[in-house]
Structure 1
Amino acid sequence: MQIKIKRSRYDIVINFLSLLSLVGTIIFLIISWNTIPDQIPQHYNAVGEIDKITTKSSLIVLLAVGWILFIGLCIIEKFPQICNTGIEVTEQNKEKVYRILKNMLGTIKLLIALVFSYLTLYSTNVKNLSHLFLPTFLVLVFGSITFFIIQLVKVK
């Protein structure tokens, strides 16, 4: 059963920025496809160094994975009751709990859209990533999740 949670400004902004990132990446790839080198990074190690090279067509796969994750999170967002919150959801706290979950999923959706767009665009430069890329991404994702879990625990 789908639970209807009213869209907030936060939802609208997060979804807009996520879509802007992914659509903007598509537009960039279309416009610059002929200028992108034939060989680009396929994988970076934990410190951001290129450790595998592939053809530029893999950029389409990378972008497709970003879209698949975005769409998957949009679907999960429609059914917040499937998420295990670790707290008892009652009629009194249901709306607050599901709002927090929706905000968390939206935030993660934005971070994933941004990271896949960034990796797609950065790969066209055939350069190493900053050694701070992975730690920054992990802090943002796990920091966001922690922030929303703390909010959930407070609702209890």
Structure 2
Amino acid sequence: MENNPPVLKLKMTFIEKLLNVVGILSFSGVMMYMIYTWNAVPNLVPGHYNVSGEVTRWGGREELFILLAVGVLLWIGMTVLERFPHVHNYKNLTEANIKGQYINSRMMMNVLKNEIAILFPFIIWNDIRVARGFSSYMNTWSLIIIVLILTGTLVFFIVRSNRQKRKAANTS
């Protein structure tokens, strides 16, 4: 079965739909903010921060659109991948655990893409703040928190997948 997993039609959960709305609102909100503040944004904006949160490279304000485009393209790409859980990588896929594994993998993709959909607008918003002379929220702690959230999400869904496999093996 693992070489040719079946395609299952599984409905999106309420949580997945809710997170998609949050992701779309996050991107929409930062686009509106960019439009609203564009005339007040200086020509140079932060392009890179070091681990301490200090700006190490400045770039043209047009780079904000590149950052937005990368975030949106990642969100779209992950949305497409989310729709096809049968192409994700699985180990020990069986009839007893296939539905749970597909849903778990799809939800992991959904949560990660929507965390990205919050992260990219946060970075854009912070870059605009810094360019306008306000203090940055990008620092060592924000980097640690971002890494912990993303890693925590992966660990949560991997543990959940392993529990589902054990549960399915015990009921078979």
Query: For the superposition of Structure 1 and Structure 2, which TM-score range results when normalised by the shorter chain?
Result: over 0.9
- Is residue 3–residue 78 contact of structure 1 (8 Å, CA) maintained in 2? no
Structure-2 change in CA distance of 1:52 and 1:41 (3 Å): same
Label 1:60 to 1:66 Cα distance change in 2 as closer, same or farther (>3 A). Answer: same
Choose from 9, 12, 15 the match for 2:20: 15
The answer as to whether partners of 1:4 and 1:78 remain within 8 angstroms in 2 is no
Indicate yes or no: 2:106 matched with 1:97: no
TM-score by length of 1: 0.94
Q: Residue deviations 1:17-67, cap 9 Å, x none?
A: 011101111111111111111111001112221100011110000000000
SS in 1 for 2:48: strand
> 1:111 matched to which residue of 2?
115
Displacement after TM superposition at 1:90 (Å) = 1.7
How far apart are residue 12 of structure 1 and its match?
0.8
The answer to whether 1:28 aligns with 2:33 is yes
Match of residue 152 from structure 2: 143
Pairwise mapping of residues 37-116 of structure 1 onto structure 2 (< 5 A)? 37-85=42-90, 87-116=91-120
Cα shift at 1:2: 5.1
Task: Give CA-to-partner distance per residue, 1:103-155, whole Å, 9 cap, x none.
Answer: 11111011111110000110001244232111111100011100000000011
Paired with 2:36 and 2:9, the residues of 1 have a C-alpha distance of 39
Q: Which structure has the higher relative contact order (CA within 8 Å, separation 6+)?
A: 1
Aligned residue-pair number: 155
Please give the secondary structure, in 2, of the residue aligned with 1:125: helix
TM-score (norm 2): 0.86
Q: Distance in 2 between matches of 1:124 and 1:117?
A: 11
What amino acid does structure 1 have at the position aligned with 2:139?
S
- C-alpha separation in 2, matches of 1:16 and 1:84: 27
Q: Which runs of 4+ in 1 moved over 6 A?
A: none
Give me the whole-angstrom Cα distance separating, in 2, the residues matched to 1:67 and 1:109: 10
User: Which residue of 1 is the match for residue 170 of structure 2?
Assistant: none
- SS of the aligned residue for 1:4 comes to coil
**5+ long unaligned stretches in structure 1:** none
In structure 2, the residue corresponding to 1:111 is in which secondary structure? helix
Larger Rg: 1 or 2? 2
Partners of 1:103 and 1:39 lie apart in 2 by: 38
Q: For 1:51-105, what per-residue CA distance to the aligned partner results, in whole angstroms no more than 9, with x for missing partners?
A: 00011110000000000100010011011122213x3112221111111111111
| 1:88 aligned partner, one-letter code | N
